[in-house]
Structure 1
Amino acid sequence: MNDKQTTQEKIFNRYYRIFIIPMIFLLYYLLSYLVNPYSKYWSLTTTRSWDDLLAEGVVMMLICWLITELSLISARLMDKWIPWERWPVRRFITQVCYQIILVFILLKVVMIILTFIFGPPPERGDSGPEKLDEWQFVFVCVMLSILISAVHTGNYFLQRWKTSMLEAAALKLNAAELQQIAMQAELQSLKLQLDPHFMFNNFSTLSALIQEDKNTALAFLENLSRVYRYMIINLNNDIITLREELKFIQAYTYLIQIRHGENVDIQTDIPEEIITRGIPPITLQLLIENAIKHNVASAAQPLHIHIYLNGEGKLTVSNNVQRIASNMPSTKLGLQNIRNRYRLLSDLSTEIKEENGSFLVMLPLLDF
């Protein structure tokens, strides 16, 4: 328990006593009257002097205070020895019996002290009504003690519930933070998967160009630098605007034209009103590279790649299917990368299908 909790508990206990002791004092007389409204005590009250009534009130307030303190002390001790969570039935029986014994001992001690201070009380005889009044007094005190313990127990459970709710909320918050950290780490890992394959292909092309055409090699290197700079800048960005991605694709398309010439035809058809929407960075580049990797692209069989907005409002990348004959099965790493990034960034999912000789990847646009 920290210092703040300890201070709050002390403040609560102080005001708790200020409230509960007068309430117990009033409840004593209320319960006494309800238990036996025809007691001779009530009829004699109007004939007694104010000094007697005041003295009795002080003594009863003292008794109520002692009952309150002893009941709270015993309840706290039992919270340690016989906690409700482990032995509820044993705790209930033990606490009730303990309260009864405690009240009997307390009242006996109080009577001895009062006799020592004020002298023995006047003889009242052994008549039934008088004995009934004495037992009524003891019974009401026992009930008050049990009531105080019940209030303490209710407050105990309320505080435990409050603490458990705060702990659950803290654990939930920590779990959410850890999940967010894990998601960011996974997202960074997915982004880094793009670099090796992309750079290997383009450096191979650049190496060949240097030997054949230095001017074209310089232009290729300049566009490659722009593309790679874009990838580095956006490595830490989860979402970018479609406008930025399309500018990147323009530079990337130049690299593709140098590598494949007219064998690969890339067309974009994007309405102006959606270019401020979001998309995971380097997604279009990955889809274009994936289409080229798995399909024949030649003068006789050119590969047509089309980027457009479909009727459902999704950004769509399509290509004609003319797969390369290979014994090596596709790992589908690129498509899985895109799926995972969308899964981490939103509740929206990508849709991939093949129909009428075309392979389509439909990407939902994201909001910032």
Structure 2
Amino acid sequence: MGKSTTQEKLFNRYYRIFIFPMIFLLYYLLSYLVNPFSGYWEELWKQKWTDILIEGVIMMIFCALITEMSLIIARQLNKIMPWNEKPIARSFIQLLLQLVSVGLLLAVLYYTLFFIFGPPPKATKPPDKLDEWQFVFVCSMLAILISAVHTGHYFLQRWKTSMLEASELKLKAAEFKQIAMQAQLQSLKLQLDPHFMFNNFSALSALIMEDKDVALSFLENLAKVYRYMITNLNNDIITLAEEEKIIRAFAYLIKIRHGDNVVIDIDIPASIAGRGVPPITLQLLIENAIKHNMATAARPLLIKIYEDDSGRLIVSNRIQRIRHQIQSTKLGLENIRNRYRILSDQQPVIKEEDGMFIVVLPVLDI
């Protein structure tokens, strides 16, 4: 608000410096263009230079008064009758007030000249009424022109203010959207804890009763994986190289839980190892494959992680569905979809073909 007021004051200051002499010159230019054959021009050059100078000063003051009156009328109407409320009525009233103000100023000018120069000498012929009306017309046009310039500046300032406000609103909306997305992403990350911990603590509980040494090793690897999860809770994307390290530790947990019934084949080439995926994505997909498919010695469940020809990461497994399985909450796949939706315009592709369940993961820049 303070900045806008300062700009308005600066505009008014420089506006007057420019407009006063400009209106003075326009007065004579318009007067000449309206009637270049008027006797006024012939009589003007017959006057003494002192009279011409006095008339010039008086007309300069008169043009300044027209300018000020026009600005005052426009500014006051902006307060009591803004353009956006009643534009037609505003135009009519502003025009009427401009003409009335010009009439009052002309009356003041007439009596001022009468006081300075006295009554005009008796002319040999009656005064030219056309010259008088042209004078009134030119003054009225100047007032309207001044008002139009001021109104144009007013509209320009309002447009600039509206554009700035719109930009600020868009920026705030983007900030709020970013905050909401971050909150949603954090919520999705927190969903990983129970999904992961339930499966592995169940296995650990059974191992403690069966083999304490294996249970200890299992617990160490479980702690390593869980530490990774906690460490990367604040990371939106993790490199595939880091993800592979923890998946190999996670594969040990799977080996203890399922033996040779589950085979995890990991082949992440160096060409994409520096790029990333949302943390724990591969772990969720492995858990999802094990949850929904049978894994037996006769029919081991093969899970493969590799790069396709397009540089995307593929996680696939043979479809060996459990016949009477508990209805899926689809937490894992939805979690992955939602995190990709927030982080990128690329989305995972989930499909079944040729007896394989395939998840195609875009690899993201870090």
TM range (shorter): over 0.9
Distance 1:125 1:300 in 2: 132
8 A contact 2:292–2:325 mirrored in 1? no
| Cα drift, residue 44 of structure 1 | 2.3
Which residue in the other structure is 2:264 paired with? 266
Which residue in the other structure is 1:361 paired with? 359
Structure 1 residues 106 and 125 mapped into 2: Cα distance closer, same or farther (>3 Å)?
A: farther
Structure 1 residues 42 and 217 mapped into 2: Cα distance closer, same or farther (>3 Å)?
A: same
Structure 1 residues 61 and 175 mapped into 2: Cα distance closer, same or farther (>3 Å)?
A: same
8 A contact 2:316–2:356 mirrored in 1? yes
Q: Which sits farther off after the overlay, 192-201 or 324-333?
A: 324-333
Structure 1 residues 49 and 262 mapped into 2: Cα distance closer, same or farther (>3 Å)?
A: same
2:350 aligned to which of 346, 352, 355: 352
Which residue in the other structure is 1:175 paired with? 173
Structure 1 residues 260 and 123 mapped into 2: Cα distance closer, same or farther (>3 Å)?
A: farther
Residue 22 of structure 2 corresponds to residue 26 of structure 1 = no
Distance 2:165 2:156 in 1: 14
Which residue in the other structure is 2:64 paired with? 65
Which residue in the other structure is 1:36 paired with? 35
> 5 Å matches for 1:249-288?
249-288=247-286
Which SS does the other structure have where 2:314 is aligned? Answer: strand
Number of equivalences: 366
2:291 aligned to which of 293, 302, 306: 293
Give the partner amino acid of 1:12: F
| Cα drift, residue 148 of structure 1 | 0.4
> 5 Å matches for 1:316-331?
316-326=314-324, 328-331=326-329
| Cα drift, residue 164 of structure 1 | 0.3
- Report the identity percentage: 67
8 A contact 2:272–2:311 mirrored in 1? no
> 5 Å matches for 1:129-278?
130-278=128-276
Which runs of 5 or more residues in structure 1 are unaligned? none
CA RMSD after TM alignment: 1.4
Give the partner amino acid of 2:161: T
Distance 1:272 1:330 in 2: 35
Which runs of 5 or more residues in structure 2 are unaligned? none
Distance 2:56 2:277 in 1: 79
Distance 2:78 2:333 in 1: 59
1:341 aligned to which of 334, 339, 342: 339
Give the partner amino acid of 2:167: A
Deviations along 1:118-148, one digit per CA (max 9) or x if unpaired, are 43333447736x2221111111110000000
Structure 1 residues 125 and 367 mapped into 2: Cα distance closer, same or farther (>3 Å)?
A: farther
Give the partner amino acid of 1:27: L
Which residue in the other structure is 2:302 paired with? 304
Which SS does the other structure have where 1:322 is aligned? Answer: coil
Structure 1 residues 267 and 22 mapped into 2: Cα distance closer, same or farther (>3 Å)?
A: same
Distance 1:204 1:327 in 2: 18
Distance 1:205 1:120 in 2: 117
Which residue in the other structure is 1:81 paired with? 80
Distance 2:131 2:214 in 1: 114
| Cα drift, residue 117 of structure 1 | 4.1
Distance 2:95 2:125 in 1: 29
Give the partner amino acid of 1:63: F
Distance 1:163 1:47 in 2: 53
Q: Which sits farther off after the overlay, 28-37 or 326-335?
A: 326-335
Which SS does the other structure have where 2:173 is aligned? Answer: helix
Distance 1:208 1:89 in 2: 85
Distance 1:286 1:126 in 2: 107
